[in-house]
Amino acid sequence: PEVKPKEGFSSRKVFIFAAIGSAVGLGNIWRFPYVAYEGGGGAFIIPYLCALLFAGIPLLYLDYAVGHRFRGSAPLSLRRLHRGAEWLGWWQVLICVVIAIYYAAILAWAAKYTVLSFTKGWGDDPNAYFFGDYLQAAATPGPTFDFVPGILMTMILVWVVTIGVLAMGVQTGIGRTAVVFIPVLVLAFIVLVIQALTLDGSMEGLNALFTPDWGALTHGSVWISAVGQIFFSLSVGFGIMITYASYVDRKTDMTGSGAVVGFSNSGFELLAGIGVFAALGFMAQAAGTEVSEVVTNGIGLAFVAFPTIINEAPGGVVIGVLFFVSLLLAGVTSLISIVEVVIGAVRDKVGISRTAATFVVGVPMGVVSVLMFSTTGGIYVLDTMDAFVNSFGIIAVAAVMMLAITYVFRKLGVLQRHLDARSSIKLRGWWPALVAVVVPLLLIAMLWQELKTKIDTPYEEYPADLLGVFGWGMVVALPILAIGLSLIPWRGTVSLEDPTT
Ligand code: PHE
Ligand code: NA
């Protein structure tokens, strides 16, 4: 029996806000618009909705079911599901460790750029400023030990804030932060979109985004990229939703909540697509070229294209501040959710209090993160880890989890009955069919495709040792390390028995 009463969210509403806080992140703002544009523009709605309804939401429900039924961190919930499943939880925890340490660097950049945007402090050449003056990126890709003090200080700040929020606990820290930040984020972003739509050329931008290219639908790669976007964007397969669901009252309707989270996240993606492409339309017009010439995503979009737009647009300072504040708010709530996966796991396994676990986990992770990514080589390591963990890590762990729960541990029926007993949306036959057969097959196809691409062409033409250590090496090390962690005995007071017998 559990000695301490378990922490939790005070209501369904707070849980939904926290889940949206995790889901809405950099992926919505700087990844979705580009993926949609590349994947057929207006025609992308079809693969995207299919991916959401037939892959993303079913997997979200699986995560919810595991956490809500077994009521623990990812390793504890899976351990309670079956003795042999614990390592899957640790695999997810390790993926979160990897993502958290580099995600914090991007947030630090966004914080710095929020301040810079008041004075357009990046000057006339945002590209040279970002890679040269600000990151001081090394000439050859690879890790270095040269620290950049400006980045170091901001990263420490990001970690202090994150650890501070997490130390306040599930309701007061995670829940309250999301309830405050998410409405502010939505408001700020709506004002940004309206402002962007008034710019000259914005309509050309929207045309570029929404004009359907139906031919794109005949390419398998477009369907695969839709699934990849949905998984990353919904934060499924990371252990986050297992962890958060374990903090929800036993009587709560989980499937209805999941639908709200899924559609809110997609709604925000659509909004971001409109805002980003309106701004890119202006950028193309100002440069006298086509929208297709200025389209980029990720780091280049946020830290080079947007500063360029801000330099030239009427009301640029307002656009700049709103844009970088949005990145920061969206990113902080996501970072909190990733680190919480690790804290929850360590707290359960070692049997320590939340406060102790927060510091035992947060401080070493923060130190590693700051040391790795405030160097002149940090950007290359970041880029490599991001590319590999997203294209292999989360897809592989999701596929293995679905197949193992269905065929090895045979718990799909238990999980389905658990959700159906308290939910508004009933799972019936469609959910097991998707989770046990359709989605795993799809994921295996994706992994295969990704493996071929990454073997054929070295990512970004980076040197083999960089890719070998921080790409392939990391991806292979995680599941092995996870098995090791699962062999360590549980200390402390948590029961390893199924809590609902
Ligand atoms: N879902 C987030 C996004 O869309 C990304 C994320 C991934 C957040 C993993 C937390 C964990 O940006
Ligand atoms: Na998202």
What CA–CA distance (Å, rounded) separates 309 from 296? Answer: 13
Q: Which atom of ligand 1 is nearest to the CA of 28?
A: 4
Looking at the CA of residue 335, tell me the nearest atom of ligand 1.
Answer: 10
pLDDT, tens digit, for every residue of 281-299? 999 999 999 999 999 999 9
Ion ligand 2 nearby residues (CB, 5 A): 23, 27-28, 233, 265
Q: Is the pLDDT of residue 1 over 70?
A: no
What is the structure's pLDDT at 5?
55
Ligand 1, atom nearest to 32 Cα: 4
Report residues whose beta carbon is within 6 angstroms of any ligand 1 atom: 22-23, 25-28, 99, 232-233, 235, 238, 240, 334, 337-338
Best of 22, 34, 102 for a ligand 1 pocket test (most atoms within 8 Å of beta carbon)? 22
Q: How far is the CA of 268 from the centre of ligand 2 (A)?
A: 8
125-139, 215-229, 336-350 — most confident range: 336-350
**pLDDT tens digits, 234-270:** 989 899 999 999 999 999 999 999 999 999 999 999 9
Q: How far apart are the first and last CA of the chain?
A: 12
CA distance 374 to 148: 6
Q: Within a 10 A sphere around the Cβ of 139, how many other Cβ atoms?
A: 5
Burial of 214 (0-12, 13-18, 19+ CB in 10 A): exposed
Ligand 2 mean position to 4 CA, how many Å?
A: 33
Pick from 469, 489, 488, 465: nearest CA to 477: 469
Rounded distance between C-alpha atoms, residue 489 and residue 478, angstroms: 19
Which ligand is located closest to the Cα atom of residue 341?
1
Q: Which of 60, 94, 233, 269 gets mutated to test ligand 1 (max ligand atoms within 8 A of its CB)?
A: 233
Q: How far is the centre of ligand 1, averaged over its atoms, from the C-alpha of 383 (Å)?
A: 16
Ligand nearest to the CA of 235: 1
How remote is the CA of residue 37 from the centroid of ligand 1, in Å?
A: 20
- The alpha carbon of 282 and the centre of ligand 1 are apart by a number of angstroms equal to 28
Has residue 355 got a pLDDT over 90? Answer: yes
CA 236 to ligand 2 centroid distance, Å: 10
Nearest ligand to the CA of 236 is 1
CA 232 – CA 403 distance, rounded (Å): 20
Pick from 49-58, 138-147, 260-269, 428-437: least confident:
138-147
Number of the ligand 1 atom closest to the C-alpha atom of 330:
12
Distance of CA 19 from the midpoint of ligand 2 (Å):
10
pLDDT of res. 3: 42
Quote the tokens at residue 341.
């996966």
Residue whose Cα lies nearest atom 6 of ligand 1: it is: 235
C-alpha distances (whole Å) from 290 to each of 119, 297, 309 are 29, 16, 15
CA–centroid distance, residue 225 to ligand 2 (Å) = 14
Ligand lying nearest the CA atom of residue 26: 1
Q: What is the mean pLDDT of the chain?
A: 94
Kindly state the tokens that stand for 161: 């804030």
**Which ligand has the nearest atom to the CA of 232?**
1
**Strands of 283-401, DSSP E:** none
CA distance 107 to 121: 18
The closest-lying atom of ligand 1 relative to the alpha carbon of residue 233 is: 4
| Mean pLDDT calculated for residue range 21-47 | 95
The ipTM of this complex is: 0.97
3-state secondary structure 29-70: HHHHHHHHHHCCHHHHHHHHHHHHHHHHHHHHHHHHHHHHHH
Ligand 2 center to 482 CA (angstroms): 26
What percent of the chain has pLDDT above 90? 85
